[in-house]
Amino acid sequence: MEKQSAINNLLRKHELRKTPARTEILDLYMDTPHAMSHGDIERQLEEMDRVTIYRTLSTFEEKGIIHRAYDGGEAVKYALCHNECSTHHHHDDHLHFSCNKCGNTYCLEGYPVPNVQPPEGYTIDEMYLFAKGICKSCKVR
């Protein structure tokens, strides 16, 4: 499927109006195999206002288009969700891998976060699984 058509379908599916900012950011995510922070996007889309990027990322996260990819760093990174994500539920309960060499963070969806039962008196609201090492791209170089 043509990328522009995929972007239009994704926006329609999540009941979002097509805007230049949404289209450009989705286009960037579809071309990037790893998670990106606000700063990463801002550097690549220099002409776009930082507030517009922030609002777009916030809307995309709320609607289930992107999810947070925790990698232990200070900057929040976001990765493109798959079709199963929605406004009410993200399927981001998988391993996020951060490369020590290139700094990219990848979703490793075949490795789910294990179901952990906390000790009595504790409640888990959120849980993330991330690992650090060398990604397959850097290992080949």
- Residue 141 pLDDT > 90, yes or no? no
- In 3D space, the residue among 106, 102, 103, 86 whose CA is nearest the CA of residue 94 turns out to be 106
- Quick one: pLDDT band at residue 78, thresholds 50, 70, 90? very high
pLDDT tens per residue, range 127-138: 888 899 999 999
- Residue 117 pLDDT > 70, yes or no? yes
User: Could you tell me the residue ranges of all domains in the chain?
Assistant: 3-140
Task: State pTM to two decimals.
Answer: 0.83
pLDDT reported for residue 56: 97
- Residue 75 pLDDT > 90, yes or no? no
Asked if 41 and 113 count as a contact pair (C-beta separation under 8 A), the reply is: no
Averaged confidence pLDDT in the chain: 89
- CATH domain 3-140 topology: Arc Repressor Mutant, subunit A (1.10.10)
| DSSP notation for 60-105 | HHHHTSEEE---SSSS-EEEE--TT--SS-----EEEEEETTT--E
Please, what is the Cα angle at 64 between 60 and 65, to 5 degrees?
55
